[in-house]
């Protein structure tokens, strides 16, 4: 995973609740066997509507997505975070995220920040009014702030994720260092559990 | 001494390899199910980093999401599907993972074949790169969906770092009235909790109604747990579970069976164990249900009508309902029974088991599909298909005008040629009515198998309680 650098960027206000991963990336694009190149299919169906915010050129360079509650619900497809990341988003801010989606984002270095609906409403209104207005997301301090410093909020992040993000650690590599504990666990694991190969 | 524990905590603690700081636990994974869509990138990255699959014998693969359900022996229409399936074959060969391929009668939807083969057992931790892995919880396993990076993590280490989830008990007491089934139970639960209500939780389903369900019914309930936002939902194993499992290919035999039974019987929630959240509902209050919107919580009883956005309590809610109705092309106040349909889909990991097909066939027997309807039955596995054919269910369906297909996910997600055309309206036994889920512009109403069958005959929704 690459290291997470602090983000200074403008926001794309996607003000909808319960956005599912079928909308983020429709199933027909899941046939690709690569991990990259999903950005151009992000919100593919909604993008056909000329008024959809992703078509608004003022937000073309946005690196922060302001989303509604339960963002990323539905399918476990990691293609959804891949598409968001490939499109250029580094941080997603929402009142809540779906569980599997949240884990998937953490695995690829896409930061998910939970703020209150009220705070998000404020940021949405601000970026609707001033599309170029920027926010600063600082993972070290765990803060989201407006560039002028008039708004600053702390957010929670679990220490493991924070460390992995800041140091760009490979989670599989870290687990493999625990080989001793894993083998020890396997020693005392029930013999009765099923095996797919004799 | 240990305090009272829920079954969720018991299984979790049994699989704890290590607790790392920051609340993330390293869990051992007993069974990893793999399919063609969410695995190629994981295998690729294994190859690039020169890693091996740690325990191929705890891993099994099948092809389900994009395989055609007709004409499989002919060249497939979609070269990308061919490539994805071929990639899985190569990966299974290279990494030594057993595969139920298209020509194997055990092939089928990953969440149908696990229990069918007896690979899914009480007390196991089970993962799959698919959100409906919660299905396996019906047998008392802790089972949840994961993404591709996590698939790779499990392949390489047989473990997964996970944050401990909160626990929720959902109790359904009393009994179900005639015409009401497991699908209606879970649609009601989702309607009550909301699509985000289960986020951060693992659910244990309890109560007489749950106990009285068949194994297939329990799988339907656990399957849609993710539609309420919870990754995993389970039911403590009991005699229904044990008699379902006995004699299945991967289940222990002889004295090992007896030993397993002893272990499994201990898998219950201790009296007085604490849940972070509790919901309950009465079986008698549940009616056959139909979704009208674009998320699975948007449902009403079949006797009801389309809600009015103006009745919503908040603007956000009103906008959401309005959006759903616009997409679904429905007007407030329309009676559900007046909604005409174009397509019927009986299938998916929610409702494609032999019991589901029997329930639907019973409604269809001796009748014909309405002339404006195209209806399709897609069994959950090759073995379900064989069983149904032995019982003559295929004839009941085909005589009535249904198409009878080979096993796979099919029109549940529209990755293979089985899709809705733009604007088509479908009564479907699957689990998601998201915009475009069954094909771009398609409109999905989720229902139980008998409700789908009855709708196929009538051409519109009907209250199955009024059928003789
Ligand atoms: S049947 Fe549908 S929900 Fe189930 S695994 Fe297949 S695509 Fe997913």
Residues A106 and A178 in one domain: no
Q: Do B149 and A108 touch (CB under 8 A)?
A: yes
Phi and psi at A167, nearest 5°, equal -100, 0
Rounded-to-10 torsion of CA B210, B216, B221, B225: 130
Residues A186 and A128 in one domain: no
Q: Could you tell me if residue A21 is inside a domain?
A: yes
Q: Could you tell me if residue A2 is inside a domain?
A: no
Question: Residue B396 to residues B355, B392, B401, B402, B467: CA-CA distances in angstroms?
Answer: 15, 7, 9, 9, 18
Helix or strand holding residue A86 (H, E):
helix A79-87
CA dihedral sign of residues B437, B441, B445, B450: negative
Residue in the structure block whose two tokens are 């027997």: B365
Residues A82 and A151 in one domain: yes
B369 in A contact zone (CB under 8 Å): no
List, as ranges, residues 307-326 from B with C-beta within 8 Å of A: 316, 320
Q: Do A197 and B163 touch (CB under 8 A)?
A: no
* Domain that residue A149 falls in: 7-156
B195 in A contact zone (CB under 8 Å): yes
Residues A100 and A189 in one domain: no
Q: The whole model's pTM is what?
A: 0.97
The tens digit of pLDDT for each residue in B140-199 reads 999 999 999 999 999 999 999 999 999 999 999 999 999 999 999 999 999 999 999 999
CB B180 within 8 A of CB B174: no
Residues A121 and A172 in one domain: no
Q: Taking 90 as the threshold, does the pLDDT of residue B410 lie above it?
A: yes
Residue A5: DSSP 8-state: P
What integer pLDDT is reported at residue B1 of this predicted model? 42
The tens digit of pLDDT for each residue in B57-84 reads 999 999 999 999 999 989 998 999 999 9
CA dihedral sign of residues B376, B391, B363, B294: negative
Residues A195 and A106 in one domain: no
| SS3 at position B149 | helix
Find the CATH number of the domain harbouring A76. Answer: 3.20.19.10
CA distance B416 to B375: 17
Residues A133 and A179 in one domain: no
B327 in A contact zone (CB under 8 Å): no
Residues A53 and A87 in one domain: yes
Q: Could you tell me if residue A47 is inside a domain?
A: yes
CA distance B379 to A170: 41
Domain count, chain A: 2
What integer pLDDT is reported at residue B23 of this predicted model? 67
Q: Could you tell me if residue A162 is inside a domain?
A: no
Q: Could you tell me if residue A63 is inside a domain?
A: yes
What integer pLDDT is reported at residue B21 of this predicted model? 63
The tens digit of pLDDT for each residue in A151-174 reads 999 999 998 899 999 999 989 999
Residues A173 and A122 in one domain: no
Residues A69 and A102 in one domain: yes
Residues A106 and A183 in one domain: no
Nearest residue on chain A to B60, judged by CA atoms? A196
Instruction: Give Dmax (Cα) for chain B.
Output: 67
Q: Could you tell me if residue A67 is inside a domain?
A: yes
Q: Could you tell me if residue A163 is inside a domain?
A: no
Residues A120 and A77 in one domain: yes
Contacts of B97 in chain A (CB under 8 A): 196
CB B124 within 8 A of CB B237: no
Q: Could you tell me if residue A126 is inside a domain?
A: yes
């Amino acid at each position: 995973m690459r290291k997470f650098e602090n983000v200074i960027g403008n926001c794309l206000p996607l003000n909808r609740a319960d956005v599912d991963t079928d909308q983020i990336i429709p199933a027909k694009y899941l046939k690709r066997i690569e991990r990259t190149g999903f950005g151009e299919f992000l919100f593919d169906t909604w993008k056909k509507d000329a008024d959809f915010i992703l078509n608004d050129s003022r937000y073309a360079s946005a690196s922060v997505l302001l989303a509604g509650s339960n963002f990323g619900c539905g399918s476990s497809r990691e293609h959804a975070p891949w598409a968001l990341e490939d499109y250029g988003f580094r941080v997603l801010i929402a009142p809540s995220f779906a569980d599997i989606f949240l884990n998937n984002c953490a695995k690829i270095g896409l930061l998910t920040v939970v703020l209150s609906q009220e705070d998000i409403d404020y940021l949405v209104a601000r970026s609707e009014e001033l599309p170029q207005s920027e926010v600063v997301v600082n993972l070290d301090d765990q803060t989201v702030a407006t560039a002028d410093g008039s708004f600053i909020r702390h957010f929670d992040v679990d220490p493991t994720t924070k460390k992995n993000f800041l140091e760009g650690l490979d989670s599989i590599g870290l687990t493999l260092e625990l080989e001793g504990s894993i083998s020890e666990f396997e020693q005392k694991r029930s013999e009765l559990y099923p095996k797919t190969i004799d | 001494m240990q305090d009272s524990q829920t079954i969720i905590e018991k299984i979790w603690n049994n699989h704890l390899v290590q607790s790392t700081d920051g609340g993330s636990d390293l869990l051992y994974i007993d069974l990893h199910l793999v399919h063609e869509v969410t695995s190629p990138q994981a295998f690729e990255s294994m190859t690039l980093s020169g890693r091996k699959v740690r325990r191929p014998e705890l891993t099994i693969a099948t092809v389900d999401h994009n395989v055609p359900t007709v004409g499989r022996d002919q060249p497939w229409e979609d070269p990308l599907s061919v490539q994805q399936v071929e990639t899985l074959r190569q990966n299974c060969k290279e990494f030594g993972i057993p595969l139920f391929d298209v020509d194997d009668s055990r092939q089928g939807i990953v969440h149908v074949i696990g229990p069918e083969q007896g690979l899914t057992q009480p007390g196991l931790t089970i993962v799959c790169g698919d959100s409906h892995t919660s299905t396996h919880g019906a047998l008392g396993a802790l089972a949840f969906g994961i993404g591709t990076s996590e698939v790779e993590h499990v392949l390489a280490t047989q473990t997964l770092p996970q944050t401990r989830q909160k626990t929720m008990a959902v109790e359904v007491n009393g009994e179900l009235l005639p015409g009401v089934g497991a699908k209606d139970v879970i649609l009601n639960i989702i309607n009550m909790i909301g699509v985000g209500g289960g986020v951060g939780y693992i659910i244990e389903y309890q109560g007489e109604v749950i106990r009285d369900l068949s194994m297939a019914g329990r799988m339907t309930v656990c399957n849609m747990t993710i539609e309420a936002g919870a990754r995993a939902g389970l039911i403590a194993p009991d005699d229904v579970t044990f008699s379902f499992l006995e004699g299945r290919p991967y289940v222990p035999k002889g004295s090992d069976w007896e030993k397993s039974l002893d272990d499994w019987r201990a898998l219950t929630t201790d009296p007085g164990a604490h849940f972070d959240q509790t919901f309950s509902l009465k079986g008698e209050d549940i009616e056959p249900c139909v979704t009208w919107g674009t998320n699975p919580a948007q449902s009403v009883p079949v006797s009801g009508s389309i809600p009015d956005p103006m009745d919503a309590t908040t603007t956000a809610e009103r906008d959401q309902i309005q959006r759903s109705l616009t997409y679904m092309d429905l007007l407030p106040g329309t009676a559900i029974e007046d909604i005409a349909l174009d397509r019927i889909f009986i299938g998916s990991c929610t409702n494609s088991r032999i019991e589901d097909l029997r329930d639907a066939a019973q409604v269809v027997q001796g009748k014909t599909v309405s002339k404006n309807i195209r209806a399709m039955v897609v069994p959950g596995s090759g073995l379900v298909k064989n069983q149904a054919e032995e019982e003559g269910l295929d004839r009941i369906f085909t005589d009535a005008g249904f198409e009878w297909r080979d096993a796979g996910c099919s029109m549940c997600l529209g990755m293979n040629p089985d899709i809705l055309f733009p604007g088509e309206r479908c009564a479907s036994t699957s689990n998601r009515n998201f915009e475009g889920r069954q094909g771009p512009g398609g409109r999905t109403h989720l229902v139980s198998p008998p409700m789908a069958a009855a709708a196929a005959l009538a051409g519109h929704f009907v209250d199955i309680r009024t059928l003789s």
